[in-house]
Amino acid sequence: MHINPFSNPWEHVRLLSDASRNRAMINTVVHHSPHKRVLEVGCGTGLLSCIAARAGATRVYAVEATDMVYVARDLVRRNGLQDVVEVIAGMVEDVEPKPVDFAFSELLHGDPFTEGVVGASNAMARWVVEGGLLSPSLLTVYAALVPAAGPEWEVRAAEAELARHSENFNLDLGAISEVMRSGTSHVYNSSGEVPVGPAVEVYRVTLGDGKPLPAPIDLVLEVAEAGPVSGVMVWFVARMDEHTDLGNPPRNPGHWGHHVCAFGRELEGTRGQRVAVRFHIKGKRLEVELLDDLG
């Protein structure tokens, strides 16, 4: 069973704590809502839909997939906005489209594809009338090599633990040690990684164009600062409109953090070393596989 984490109010606390994200979203909403019919997909608490109404939207459809619809409806009622804002429960993909002039969402995540922004934007585009605006309209994904030292540190710490327990309990724990050192790649979220090489553009996705998730792509990444390299960090820039970009660049990721794909083994990371990797969206998760150390 898949449980949508956004049914937990804590997820909304986290994103509402991000002032830079909030500012970008509110600027976009306030700029484009006056005298417009508006769709918000994934309204969560309902805050941005209510702001759209306050900014002068003539109608707001606020679609939300989780039980947060009850919070959003309460917010609308307490502010007397029932005549403008309609909170609709469900996935936008399952809701009958109505004509709107401006459709927006914030379906982003450290892994830019995992919240389903590509599929949801395709569904949203069916609501937008000729000349209307879908926001965001473009999603660009970047990547760079990183030390990803955390997993290596964890393996070493776990090995030290196993050595103690092996002695204390007279157990052969080789089966665990071997699997820990088997080079299994894995993904995690981190705010502490800093690129050790130049950024490459991985995907440039026009949202709402009806296309499926992008296909796998092989790229070569480079080491610029010498030191061990164990993975790839990913970040995104979402174009909300001609004035506003939303993203989680290196050193300033906001509440999103960064999606890091660890190779499961450490490369030496000499200056100028080139590493071939494959980017692949499996389900809705972006994974990066180490193909070749090109030296």
Ligand X SMILES: C[S@@+](CC[C@H](N)C(=O)[O-])C[C@H]1O[C@@H](n2cnc3c(N)ncnc32)[C@H](O)[C@@H]1O
Question: Distance between CA atoms of 62 and 28, rounded to whole angstroms?
Answer: 16
Residue number closest to ligand X, CB atom? 42
Annotated active-site residue in 40, 115, 266, 287: 115
Q: Report the residue number, 11 or 159, with the smaller CB distance to ligand X.
A: 11
Q: Report the residue number, 64 or 287, with the smaller CB distance to ligand X.
A: 64
In angstroms, give the least distance from the CB of 95 to ligand X: 8
Based on the residue annotation, tell me whether 167 is a catalytic residue of this protein.
no
In angstroms, give the least distance from the CB of 219 to ligand X: 28
Q: Report the residue number, 116 or 254, with the smaller CB distance to ligand X.
A: 116
In angstroms, give the least distance from the CB of 180 to ligand X: 34
Name, in order, each residue with C-beta under 8 angstroms of 3's C-beta and a sequence gap of 6 or more: none
Q: Report the residue number, 62 or 223, with the smaller CB distance to ligand X.
A: 62
Q: Are 56 and 83 spatial neighbours (Cβ–Cβ below 8 Å)?
A: no
In angstroms, give the least distance from the CB of 66 to ligand X: 4
* Residue 219: closest CA among 159, 165, 128, 280: 280
Query: Tokens for 267?
Result: 């490369």
Based on the residue annotation, tell me whether 11 is a catalytic residue of this protein.
no
Q: What are phi and psi of 20, to 5 degrees?
A: -65, -45
* Residue 291: closest CA among 220, 200, 202: 220
**Burial of residue 219 (number of CB atoms within 10 Å: 0-12, 13-18, 19+):** middle
Contact set with ligand X (CB under 6 A): 4, 6, 15, 25, 41-45, 47-48, 63-66, 68, 91-93, 106-107, 115-116, 120
CA distances (Å), 152 to each of 75, 188, 194, in order? 46, 13, 16
Q: Report the residue number, 63 or 143, with the smaller CB distance to ligand X.
A: 63
In angstroms, give the least distance from the CB of 142 to ligand X: 20
* Residue 178: closest CA among 201, 158, 193, 148: 158
Annotated active-site residue in 86, 93, 96, 106: 106
Q: Give me the active site residues, please.
A: 106, 115
